[in-house]
Amino acid sequence: MWQSDFTYFKIIGWVYVSTVLDDFSRYIIARKPCTTMRSEDVTDILELALTASCSDTARVLHRPKLLRSNGPFYIAGELADTLRDRDMRRTRDAPCHTQIQGKIYFLPADL
């Protein structure tokens, strides 16, 4: 299962970092700084993760399932279309359940 979420912090203006993390190994497969939190940013980082993991070209029995938050950018139709095209399933986290989200910790220098 892969987990995707945004982390954000303020430098001069707000910076949002979209990430995809492998839930088992806790390895960050892909991350990308963004100026917004839109569904296009989520689909971009998902494409980067699929390419980085070779899941876009390898023949696999099961595609990774995407664990996501309940943010509007994760429930948008564009993301649903991308996941359907990639033969991936998705699941939502439980609201206010801190053990599911919040696994990605890094400093801005890691970017």
CA angle 17, 82, 16 (to 5 degrees): 10
Relative to beta strand 66-68, strand 14-22 is unpaired
Confidence at residue 3, expressed as pLDDT on a 0 to 100 scale? 84
Integer Cα distance of 92 and 106 in angstroms: 23
Tell me the C-alpha distance between 72 and 74, whole Å: 5
Chain centroid, CA 80 distance in Å: 13
Q: How many residues does the chain have?
A: 111
Q: Average per-residue pLDDT in the chain? A: 77
| Cα–Cα distance, 106 to 16 (Å, whole number) | 13
- What pTM does this model have? 0.74
Q: Nearest to residue 91, comparing CAs of 72, 70, 66, 71? A: 66
> What confidence tens digit (pLDDT) does each residue in 44-80 have?
888 899 888 887 777 767 778 787 776 777 777 777 8
